Amino acid sequence: MQMMKNLTDDKPQLIDTGMLIKCCKWSPNGNLLAVAGSLLDGPEGTKGIVQFYSPLGYHLRSLRVPSQTGVVSSVSWEGFGLRICMAVDSNVIFANI
C-alpha cells in the first residue's frame, strides 16, 4: 500500500500490509484508515482481516473477522467514526472501534 500527501509527493509511505487488499476507507474525521481484505495463514487457510493505520502509516490494530471464504470484501464507517460495518461472505458484521 502506498500513502501520499498529494499527487506529487516525493517521499510516499510504502506499507507492506501482508494481506490481499479488497477495500480501504478513511474514518470520517481522518484519524484512521481501515484496510480490509484477506490474510493467508499458512496451512490453516485464508482469514478475513481489517487492519487500522494512522494518517502517517503506522499500524495500530488488526481485527480478525470470522468468515467461511476468508475475505472481507467491503468496509464502511459510521458517521461519528466509532463503528464500522463489514461485508463478509453474505453477512454484514458491525464492530465498535
Residue 25: predicted pLDDT: 95
- Evaluate whether residue 6 is within a structural domain: no
* Residue with cell string 499500524: 59
Residue 42: predicted pLDDT: 61
Residue 40: predicted pLDDT: 75
Tens digit of each residue's pLDDT (9 = 90 or more) over 38-97: 887 765 667 889 999 999 899 999 998 887 777 898 999 998 888 999 999 888 999 998
- Evaluate whether residue 86 is within a structural domain: yes
DSSP secondary structure string for all residues of 69-85:
S--EEEEEE-TTSSEEE
- Evaluate whether residue 63 is within a structural domain: yes
Q: Measured between alpha carbons, how far is residue 31 from residues 11, 36, 40 in Å?
A: 20, 16, 27
Q: In whole angstroms, give the CA distance from residue 86 to residue 13.
A: 26
Q: Which domain holds residue 29?
A: 12-96
pTM: 0.87
Mean pLDDT over 15-35 rounds to 92
Domain count, the chain: 1
